[in-house]
Amino acid sequence: MATTNLSHYDKATIPNASEFRFGIVVSEWNPEITENLYLGAEQALIENGTLPENIIRWDVPGSFELIYGCKRMVETQKLDAVIAIGNVIQGETKHFDFVCEGVTQGIKDLNIKYDTPVIFCVLTDNNKQQSLDRSGGKHGNKGIECAIAAIKMAALRQF
């Protein structure tokens, strides 16, 4: 877990995103977390030149469904990168482990199979406070960091 706010970046080092199209797939589970991550990502994309109409948002029920949502988005939309936004909080059962492993491997598989980068913006925290801290709280907003990663990966596709 980050102990500092990593959401600050040097805008001069970020490629201009005005020609890029991005998809964002957002889990509806833990909406107070995922909505903040989405807002951070959207803001960072727009601040770096992305036109609002070039940001496509789809919602899915939970983090496990992010895999299919991202897959369909990559297959049906002409995009330069996709951001998968979700949140899984540790509970008392092994469900946390299975969901985290499945989502991680699923998004990794999409990056291997397709030429469109899929960015992992899934918070996997021990408790809700940690998730709040990383979705706009004292540790910044991972949505911003993932949007910057998406811009950099979209630019990498041009090589």
pTM of the model: 0.95
Specify the pLDDT at position 4: 58
Q: Which portions of the chain are predicted below pLDDT 50?
A: 1-2
Specify the pLDDT at position 5: 67
pLDDT, tens only, 12-52: 999 999 999 999 999 999 999 999 999 999 999 999 999 99
Specify the pLDDT at position 127: 97
Tell me if 27 sits within 8 A of 34, measured CB to CB: yes
Give the active site residue among 8, 95, 138, 157.
95
Neighbours of 74 (CB within 10 A): 22
Active site residue 139: no
Task: Give the dihedral of Cα atoms 58, 60, 63, 68; nearest 10 deg.
Answer: -80
Specify the pLDDT at position 1: 41
Domains and CATH numbers, the chain: 19-157 (3.40.50.960)
The CA–CA distances, whole Å, from 47 to 14, 22, 60 equal 11, 14, 26
